[in-house]
Chains A and B, each alone.
Chain A
Amino acid sequence: MSTPSATLSQTGHTGAPTVRELTLAQAIREALAEELRRDPTVYIMGEDVAEAGTPFKVLSGLVEEFGPQRIIDSPISEAGITGLGVGAAMTGMRPVVDIMFGDFLGLIMDQLANQAAKVHYMSGGKLKVPLVVRTTLGATRRSAAQHSQSLHAWVSHIPGLKVALPSTPYDAKGLLKTAIRDDNPVVFFEDKMMYQLKGPVPEEEYTIPLGVADVKRAGTDITIVATSSMVQVALVAADNLERLGISAEVVDPRTMFPLDKETLIASAQKTSRAIVVDEGYERYGVTAELAAVIAEGAFYSLDAPVKRMGAMDVPVPFSPVLEDQTVPTPATVTELAKTLCGRA
């Protein structure tokens, strides 16, 4: 595995872009390294982010290049480092706060929802909070109920916050660079089970705007809207469906807010059927919002009710036999799609 500094070169002059295969972790590290190099106001703070490079090793190598003044090991004080990030962001820095597990959002929620999200509005547009909180989601790691949740719905609910859910190394890098440059607080969710997933990433500088969905696979019979960890699941389901003669289109919104409603609606209008798949709890989850957007926007084109699939509405159990039932799988997505297409 190459270090970020070794794989990053300032090419960008001639010809076709150079594309490498990077893991999701490498792509994220590269985005951070590039932004740290570009902008001296960017810093990273979190637990075991420096020498340890986080328990997931996503940040390995950064402290060697940028030093402990900018890659800062913190106490186990999630509320504190987020609050400090809000204040530093209001006064000229661009903090990237590392919250190891998305479950710890519970600890930082006031700083996010009542402080970061409110400051710009409450100050009549005078103050800004260019803060990024990176955290994780995703179950099936056998980590039980306090280390497995996908809680992006919590922050998607709050006006003033932006929420990114990358599903590929390419998207992760481009979205993270944009998030860091954004003048608003952005919560950036990474699927902890996908850190070793590989995908093409160009060497050349690029960014991806927040609020632009991506069609991961084109199709004509049914739309599967999938987020983060569920994009790969949806793509496998689409392969299954193709063998059954059903052409599925897989659409990844990439950000929950801003939300690219047009792309979701247009896809459902084209295919006339839609399923929304997400790893958050199904109840009151982001699937409800996405399904409502499609139901309203594509109503006259739909041949079936919009269906949603989220994680089972239970705390994530430890036992593998129980945990595996709680998340959508290619098999369950395939089944639902078949039913919706009248092929069950």
Chain B
Amino acid sequence: MTQVQASRPTRKSHSAPAEERERFLSMYRQMVRIRLFEEQVNDLYKTARMPGLAHLYSGEEAVAVGVCATLRRDDYITSTHRGHGHCLAKGASIDRMFAELLGKAPGYCRGKGGSMHIADQDTGNLGANAIVGGSAGIATGAAFASKMRGQDRVAVCFFGDGALGQGLLYEVMNMASLWKLPVIYVCENNLYNEYTHYTETTAGALTERAKAFGIHTDAVDGQDVRAVYAAARQLVDRARGGDGPAFLLCDTYRFYGHHVGDIQRTYYRSKEEEEHWKTQRDPLILLGQWLSAEGIAGESDLEHLRDEARAEVEAGVRFALDAPFPELSEVDQHVYA
């Protein structure tokens, strides 16, 4: 993984209040966990130890982490095919995530879901989804139920720029606005719908689509976890307070291919573009620099956090590799409740 560049705390200003310092340190920790988790997933794929494919979230960590840091455990999220980051940021444990990716019994879905379908009721995760845009209805429905039952839970719907092509999104955004539902649509614009640049598939300005429904809209640098957090904090608070839905556009970038097998990428994006994002726009580096500049953490503190995360990932993958597969008889369980 990429190293943060700053070496020592440069300014012991203590300008950030203690609560804020702890918050951003914990976001760093969370982003590192996701980064190292994904690198391990890539390794599992390359060494043929993981069935199927996976879509890595590396590079986009600040979006999931910044948004989920504003949520309560009982708030809802829905996720996507590129969902490991959302699940971890909402509180999933690394070992059971790996177990699911390997199709093992202790996995979050007993091996039935795999990489693209991790759901975890205990942390409010209503599920990753392999249909692009497929969870827009689910997130909006959860917000509807929360409102109808007089609860103050909010729902966050994560989706990619590609999902802007799906009609369902516009049907539910209309209803969310009409009925002031506590749902936040978080669009992760990583520039590509699979192998096609979003400008070739998406007309007009992205945020105008939500604005047309009268939905409160904001746009942030999705590589800056503090900016994501600040924006999401506001949107979540207003949704919880009864002021209705919001749309948050986050500009971001995936460092790896569309999925782990997408190695030859130069026909759709340049090496220079990838390098730029990896070296100049890495959310971990950016937050590390800030933590250091603020005197909150130096390189050795961050190294310590990385070591902890590395140990957790190593233990998690070992747990999953050693775990049993589900019993064969489970195949026709859970078709009906």
Q: Which A positions have Cβ atoms within 8 angstroms of B?
A: 47-48, 50-52, 55, 73-77, 79-80, 103-104, 106-107, 141-147, 312-315, 317-322, 325-326
Bound CA–CA A73/B132 (angstroms): 16
Task: Take A55-B194, A312-B332, A322-B330 as given contacts and tell me if A76 and B201 are in contact as well, using a CB distance cutoff of 8 Å.
Answer: yes
**Secondary structure call for the B interface:** loop
Judge whether A147 and B268 touch: CB under 8 Å.
Answer: no
Judge whether B52 and A141 touch: CB under 8 Å.
Answer: yes
Judge whether B165 and A318 touch: CB under 8 Å.
Answer: no
Bound CA–CA A315/B134 (angstroms): 17
Looking at chain B, what size class is its interface with the partner chain? 35 or more
Q: Which B positions have Cβ atoms within 8 angstroms of A?
A: 51-53, 103-104, 109-117, 129-134, 162-167, 193-196, 200-202, 267-268, 325-326, 328, 330-332, 335
CB distance from B333 to the nearest CB of A (A): 9
Judge whether A144 and B114 touch: CB under 8 Å.
Answer: yes
Judge whether B201 and A321 touch: CB under 8 Å.
Answer: no
CB distance from B223 to the nearest CB of A (A): 24
CB distance from A203 to the nearest CB of B (A): 29
Judge whether A75 and B103 touch: CB under 8 Å.
Answer: no
B324 to A, closest residue via Cβ:
A321
Task: Take A52-B268, A73-B200 as given contacts and tell me if A146 and B116 are in contact as well, using a CB distance cutoff of 8 Å.
Answer: yes
B129 to A, closest residue via Cβ:
A146
Task: Take A319-B112, A320-B51, A320-B103 as given contacts and tell me if A104 and B131 are in contact as well, using a CB distance cutoff of 8 Å.
Answer: yes
Bound CA–CA A113/B182 (angstroms): 35
Judge whether B194 and A317 touch: CB under 8 Å.
Answer: no
Known: A48-B193, A143-B52, A144-B115. 5 other contacts (CB 8 A): A76-B133, A80-B167, A103-B131, A147-B116, A318-B52
CB contact between B326 and one of A312, A313, A319 (< 8 Å): that residue: A319
Bound CA–CA A142/B114 (angstroms): 8
Bound CA–CA A50/B163 (angstroms): 20
Judge whether B196 and A73 touch: CB under 8 Å.
Answer: yes
23 A/B residue pairs, CB under 8 Å, sorted by A: A51-B267, A55-B194, A73-B201, A76-B162, A76-B163, A77-B166, A80-B165, A103-B131, A106-B131, A142-B53, A142-B114, A144-B112, A146-B131, A147-B116, A315-B335, A318-B51, A318-B113, A318-B114, A319-B51, A319-B103, A322-B330, A325-B328, A326-B331
CB distance from A193 to the nearest CB of B (A): 13
Residues of A within 8 Å of B129, CB to CB, are: 146
CB contact between A48 and one of B114, B116, B195 (< 8 Å): that residue: B195
B195 to A, closest residue via Cβ:
A52
Residues of A within 8 Å of B109, CB to CB, are: 318
CB distance from B138 to the nearest CB of A (A): 13
Judge whether A319 and B130 touch: CB under 8 Å.
Answer: no
CB distance from A78 to the nearest CB of B (A): 8
